[in-house]
Structure 1
Amino acid sequence: MRHSMDSDVFRQTAHSPSYFELSRRLGEGARGLVDFCIPCNPYFPTPEMFADLARDLESVLKFYPSDAGAIAAQLASVLGMNPATMAMSNGSTELITWMDRLWVAESIAVPVPTFGRWTDQAMESGKRVDMFPLPENEGFQLDLGAYVKFIRSRGSRVAVLCNPNNPDGGYLPRREVVRFLDELSDLDLVVVDESFIDFVEVERNPSVAAEAAIRPNVVVLKSLGKNFGLHGVRFGYLVANPGLARRMAAALPKWNLNSVAEAVIFMFREHADDYQESLVKLSLDRYRMGSELSRVPDLEVFSSQANFLLVKLIGEVGGPELRDYLLVKHQVFVRECSDKLGLSGQFLRLVVRPSDDVERLVEGMRAFSESRWGIDRPTLVS
């Protein structure tokens, strides 16, 4: 493995470099790379599902997929939903882009920190973004009453709520979210981003998708790539009343989903139990990982209901320094948060992974804490 890397790779976009970009730069050393950066489900799809996909890969890649409506109808059937309330997309970011174009006329309220596209997309299109800061001293917990007052005081016409929130994993009970929707029934649109809702364990049936299907101004966003552990496939969907869902579907390209996404969705019914089992395993891993990280010196761990944990480095050491050390010395890739509004370089978002991978992460963090690199500091080429 090479022990140097061009540090510009982490400054090219507002997001982390892709696994493939890192692999090209790391060369052979990338074979052992453990990814704590991209929030993926490590237990799904199962090896059997991957084997089935590999067996059918030639036909999957060779032929056109069905149109988005047919694929959405299959997903709706599996989930027990009305297909008229759904619109599928090539990743949730595509939906965020089109929501901005279709429904955000002037202003949008967004708590920060949160998923960057909610602020970036609106700013890129010239909209006013009203940012509601989440207090670190309260674990970044969102006070919905205070948020509603903020929205009213700013005159925001669209409001966003991520539940659980990214990057801290904070979760709001369903009843509170429903009350939030009631309070803002006069807005142009209220978006509830539930990209990580399947990982919630403290409440059964935490989603408000059923509410969105019958309300005039509510959209719920879902991300199958995050839940299924298939970011490379790029698929997401929204749930809304039939009028809103139809308008979104009409704006999207007819063949905006690829054949791999179609294949996975048509496999899902048969493997629904495997998916539920993967969520149970991940929940146990989250608890164990949080316990292990809490023992690392000079590290604060925030509570989470998502498949990642937000941590803060206590002291003078910053996230970029630790990120580079872990990548070069231990082949561990983490997400540092200096580019996230509302956070700083002292924060890392760490994806929940199995115990063996966590042991490697903790070992690297302890080694970093003990040595602070000293004379063996790895070189990143500027």
Structure 2
Amino acid sequence: MRHRVDGLFQQTAHSPSFFELSRRMGDHGGQLVDFCIPCNPYFPTPDMFDMLARNLEAVLKFYPSDADTIAGQLARVLGINPATIAMSNGSTELITWMDHLWVRESIAIPIPTFGRWTDQPMETGKRVDMFPLQEENGFALDIDAYLRFIHARGSRVAVLCNPNNPDGGYLPRREILRFMDELSHLDLVVIDESFIDFVEVERNPSVGAEAAIRPNVVVLKSLGKNFGLHGIRFGYLVANPGLAGKMRRTLPKWNLNSLAETVVFMLAEHGEAYRESLRLLARDRYTMGMELALLPELTVYASQANFLLVKLAPGLNGTELRDHLISRHRVFIRECGNKLGMSNQFLRLVVRPEQDVARLVEGIREYTHPQWHQQQQQEASIRSLPVRNIS
């Protein structure tokens, strides 16, 4: 099976899709446990999926409403002014159009981070000013050092991801507001809050409300990551009515699909289930972090997102571990060797329930200590043999 999937990891700075990998794996694809794509495993609920399944024929058969109608309903659910949002077919669509509309010369971005923030402007010939986060500081972003960097480079657009991907580092809301205040002279300041709903150390971490009344700030949101529905592809931005309106006029009128519309209209009735999903995920993040920290070959970084960044001990190869986990344990992880500012010693592992983590840990132990693991299996096999009573 291994030769079927090898080429998938050499074609792009991003991981292959779950579907593509499953197809290559054939009959084994249905057994794949996904620790790669940042998703919410507890939402939508089974009842919501049942409702979607019952309505699937109508959802797929009929044309969706226009984007303004769907965005208007989302604004009502969120309790925000519909004039301050623009909804898109995935947050990467908004990153693409922000680059075309508002990034004229240069853009500053800390690295490592989500690859489209560096790749997209480089593809259109902009200067990308990369501010390296330091491993010895746990990849924590020093706001003052980043501000000095932006001023020294003369960057006209600045991006800050909070929490950051792939390390899950989080900055308090007051620091983000200070960052926005210091850069009021720039063409644009983008705060990417794709993972903000997973934050538990602060009650109201988002700065979306402040972005809506500032002249040059856009806050980016990703509903697919929060709601566990990457396949639907929907995200949105929050900005002042002028910026948000310009984005709405730029996007196609029917850029959202009927599944996205159906889910948005379901959200009002399932807010409590969504909040419970975030509570369960925070619990799993803690227990998963503790389990991984018990492995001496791993360094686990603190995270406020729905994933954990880990580093392998010297001499261990993340690419080999990734391939081992896929081929031997049907576990799919994100090895970060193709991320700017990282190496293949780093892995991003999505938070999953306890039974899935046990499978991941078993695979890592087998890779790091194959002889010990073989002995454990032999001992378990002996213990399972029936005991014969000799008298």
Scaled by the length of structure 1, the TM-score of the pair is 0.97
Cα distance per residue 1:300-320 (max 9 Å; x no partner): 000000000000001112111
The answer as to whether partners of 2:158 and 2:189 remain within 8 angstroms in 1 is yes
How many Å apart are 1:9 and its aligned residue? 0.8
Cα distance per residue 1:270-324 (max 9 Å; x no partner): 0000000000000000000000000112110000000000000011121110000
Residue 355 of structure 2 corresponds to: 356
Q: Partners in 2 of 1:317 and 1:4 — Cα distance?
A: 22
What SS does structure 2 have at the residue aligned with 1:108? strand
Paired residues for 1:1-382 under 5 Å: 2=1, 4-371=3-370
The answer as to whether partners of 2:2 and 2:323 remain within 8 angstroms in 1 is no
Considering only aligned residues, what root-mean-square deviation do their CA atoms show, in Å? 1.3
Cα distance per residue 1:116-143 (max 9 Å; x no partner): 0000000000000000000000000000
What SS does structure 1 have at the residue aligned with 2:4? strand
Q: Partners in 1 of 2:364 and 2:4 — Cα distance?
A: 20
How many Å apart are 1:5 and its aligned residue? 2.9
Q: Partners in 2 of 1:12 and 1:109 — Cα distance?
A: 26
Q: Partners in 2 of 1:373 and 1:86 — Cα distance?
A: 55
The answer as to whether partners of 2:111 and 2:130 remain within 8 angstroms in 1 is yes
What SS does structure 2 have at the residue aligned with 1:37? coil
Structure number, greater radius of gyration:
2
How many Å apart are 1:6 and its aligned residue? 3.8
Unmatched runs of 5 consecutive residues or more in structure 1: 376-382
What SS does structure 2 have at the residue aligned with 1:52? helix
Partner AA of 1:149 in structure 2: R
Cα distance per residue 1:60-95 (max 9 Å; x no partner): 000100000000000000000000000000000000
Cα distance per residue 1:224-257 (max 9 Å; x no partner): 0000000000000000000000000000000000
The answer as to whether partners of 1:297 and 1:366 remain within 8 angstroms in 2 is no
How many Å apart are 1:3 and its aligned residue? 5.1
What SS does structure 1 have at the residue aligned with 2:37? coil
How many Å apart are 1:12 and its aligned residue? 1.4
Q: Partners in 2 of 1:348 and 1:96 — Cα distance?
A: 25
The answer as to whether partners of 1:3 and 1:329 remain within 8 angstroms in 2 is no
The answer as to whether partners of 1:109 and 1:156 remain within 8 angstroms in 2 is yes
Aligned-residue sequence identity (percent) comes to 72
Q: Partners in 2 of 1:98 and 1:142 — Cα distance?
A: 26
Q: Partners in 2 of 1:6 and 1:20 — Cα distance?
A: 12
How many Å apart are 1:373 and its aligned residue? 12
Cα distance per residue 1:126-168 (max 9 Å; x no partner): 0000000000000000000000000000000000000000000
Partner AA of 1:52 in structure 2: M
Q: Partners in 1 of 2:247 and 2:371 — Cα distance?
A: 51
Runs of 4+ with deviation above 4 angstroms: 372-375
Scaled by the length of structure 2, the TM-score of the pair is 0.94
Partner AA of 2:128 in structure 1: V
Partner AA of 2:221 in structure 1: K
Partner AA of 2:66 in structure 1: D
Q: Partners in 2 of 1:210 and 1:16 — Cα distance?
A: 33
How many Å apart are 1:372 and its aligned residue? 8.3
The answer as to whether partners of 1:113 and 1:166 remain within 8 angstroms in 2 is yes
Residue 380 of structure 1 corresponds to: none
Q: Partners in 1 of 2:221 and 2:332 — Cα distance?
A: 26
Q: Partners in 2 of 1:342 and 1:99 — Cα distance?
A: 24
Q: Partners in 2 of 1:369 and 1:13 — Cα distance?
A: 27
How many Å apart are 1:374 and its aligned residue? 12
Residues paired across the two proteins, number:
374
Q: Partners in 2 of 1:54 and 1:357 — Cα distance?
A: 26
Q: Partners in 2 of 1:305 and 1:285 — Cα distance?
A: 12
Residue 378 of structure 1 corresponds to: none
The answer as to whether partners of 2:33 and 2:332 remain within 8 angstroms in 1 is yes
Q: Partners in 2 of 1:136 and 1:243 — Cα distance?
A: 39
Q: Choose 8-17 or 142-151, whichever is displaced more.
A: 8-17
